[in-house]
Amino acid sequence: MSAPVTDPIEELLAAALADARTDERWAIAPKAQALTAVRRSAARRRTATAGGALLVAAGVTAGISLAVGHDPAQQTVIQQPADGDTQPHAVPGVEPEWTPTTGSEWVLDKPAYDDFVMTHILPSPAPHTVRSPAPMTDASGRLLRDVVTGLPADAATARQDAPNGLAGAAAIHVRLADGTPVEVERMQLQEPISTQINGDAPARPTTRRDLRTGSVLVTIAGALYGWGPDHPGGANVALVVTPTGQYTFWAAPVSVPLSTVASWAEAADRG
Amino acid sequence: MNDESFEQFMAAALPGLLRFGHVLTGDRHRAEELVQSALVKTYRRWGSLRHDQPTAYVRRAMANTYTSWWRSARHETAMPPGFDAAGRAASPYDERDAALRALATLPPRQRAVLVLRYYLDMSEAEIADTLGCSTGTVKSSASRGLRSLRDRLTDPAVEGALS
């Protein structure tokens, strides 16, 4: 960085990270078979890509068979996405082609997520391009309308568009009547997510339920952190993902029962 | 460029990539996973890659994979052995450890921006190019990250705060 460092905290961080370049605590010895592991993983991806192409070909063949046979029992039921678009679409940038038809397909447990990551090429994250202050858009308006569906009537809310500069995303900051904070964020996913939201920390108790809208509701008890000294113990989290990958994340201090957070999230999904 | 050249590249770059991954994620196992994932992508593109800066390509893949793992959810990050998890800072080195502990609590994008800036000495433009975002986003992420660090490191109620 060309600008001189004048802030003491910035100076401290710069020194700490400069130390990390040589501090042995940050060193990791390469594994003996590292190159072999890379080659094998790359080969598995090629196999997966070829397998995907074969599956597509098989699907086309099966489709022709169904059209000839007219067997209604074999018809595929496609979940109705919330935006009224009845056709599932391949998610851009994911290779081999991936076309989720339910919300549940977007939310994977850790082993399934790891497997997905290792067998698919994933798109780069969308650039965060909205300058602050972000203009008010209907994204936060729609989210607010959904959010208040299940919340107590005396909850206070504040809208935010493009949190962290991400176009199309929205957030609602909620204060319940007793001052308890609840945070809600919505964005469009570009790839599936994992239920392991605590990094490598032990997994938290997780439930999953498919909703009648085609969305999936996932709850995670006592996850995350960061509510501050007034709200110790992490957060109860509810995630809802629609068949089209619209992801809504609810977090409240653990003083708010998980079932309550889940009921708000489900009500918002029904709109 | 052939398989042999990739092998030579890996042998030379792997220790540095693992260290970068460790600083970026704060977790040894996650770092190994991240490097592996980025190297697989690199290996598959090795034939068509611009080979003047393959390490930059791998770092870019690592940074983007890291920030996309948990785009909105904050998560706990472990620290390497030797970092005292509790207690107040008593020396410049303790202060630096406290700064890195606080860094580990930031959201991935803010952490990535600060690591690219101070660990790799990247400019704002280089960081923006690496993360696929605007320089404005880089500035705001750095500013927010430093503000959070300042809050954590100067609040006596926070574990590891500086005296």
3-state SS string for chain A: CCCCCCCHHHHHHHHHHHHHCCCHHHCCCCCCCHHHHHHHHHHHHHHHHHHHHHHHHHHHHHHHHHHHHCCHHHCCCCCCCCCCCCCCCCCCCCECCCCCCCHHHHEECHHHHHHHHHHCECCCCCCCCCCCCCCCCHHHHHHHHHHCCCCCCCCEEEEEECHHHCCCCEEEEEECCCCCEEEEEEEECCCCEECCCCCCCCCCCEEEEECCCCCEEEEEEEECCCCCCCCCCCEEEEEEECCCCEEEEEEEECCCCHHHHHHHHHHHHHC
Chain B contact for A6 (CB, 8 A cutoff):
no
Distance from CA of A103 to the nearest CA of B (A): 18
Distance from CA of B37 to the nearest CA of A (A): 7
**Of the candidates B70, B95, B132, which has its C-beta nearest A127's C-beta?**
B132
Q: Quote ipTM for the complex.
A: 0.84
pLDDT in tens, B95-111: 888 888 889 888 888 99
- Report which residue type is found at B135: T
Mean pLDDT within B123-147: 90
The pair of three-digit structure tokens given for residue A44, joined into one six-digit string: 């598995």
The pair of three-digit structure tokens given for residue A177, joined into one six-digit string: 């009547």
Nearest to B54 by CA among B25, B17, B20: B17
Cβ distance A199 to B77 less than 8 Å, yes or no, reads yes
Query: Which pTM does this prediction carry?
Result: 0.47
How many CB atoms sit inside 10 A of residue A216's CB?
Answer: 21
With H, G, I as helix, E, B as strand and everything else as coil, classify residue B97.
Answer: helix
**Of the candidates B80, B150, B153, which has its C-beta nearest A26's C-beta?**
B80
Q: Which residues of A touch B10 (CB under 8 A)?
A: 34-35, 38
Q: Decide: A28 and B32 in contact? Cβ < 8 Å.
A: yes
- Report which residue type is found at A75: Q
- Report which residue type is found at B112: A
Cβ distance B114 to A17 less than 8 Å, yes or no, reads yes
Q: Which residues of B touch A17 (CB under 8 A)?
A: 23, 100, 114-115, 118-119
Q: Decide: A45 and B44 in contact? Cβ < 8 Å.
A: yes
Cβ distance A129 to B137 less than 8 Å, yes or no, reads yes
Q: What is the pLDDT along chain A (271 residues), one digit of tens a residue?
A: 445 567 888 999 999 999 999 998 899 988 877 887 787 766 654 433 333 333 333 333 232 222 222 233 332 333 333 444 556 788 888 888 899 999 999 998 888 887 887 778 877 666 678 887 888 899 999 999 999 998 999 999 999 999 878 889 999 999 999 989 999 999 999 889 888 766 555 677 889 999 999 999 999 888 765 566 666 667 888 999 999 999 999 989 889 999 999 999 999 998 8
Cβ distance A45 to B95 less than 8 Å, yes or no, reads no
Cβ distance A28 to B31 less than 8 Å, yes or no, reads yes
Phi, psi dihedrals of residue A182, rounded to the nearest 5°: -135, 130
**Of the candidates B78, B119, B154, which has its C-beta nearest A20's C-beta?**
B119
Mutation pick from A1, A191, A218 vs chain B, by most beta carbons of B within 10 Å, is A1
Cβ distance A45 to B40 less than 8 Å, yes or no, reads yes
Q: Which residues of A touch B28 (CB under 8 A)?
A: 28
Cβ distance A165 to B149 less than 8 Å, yes or no, reads no
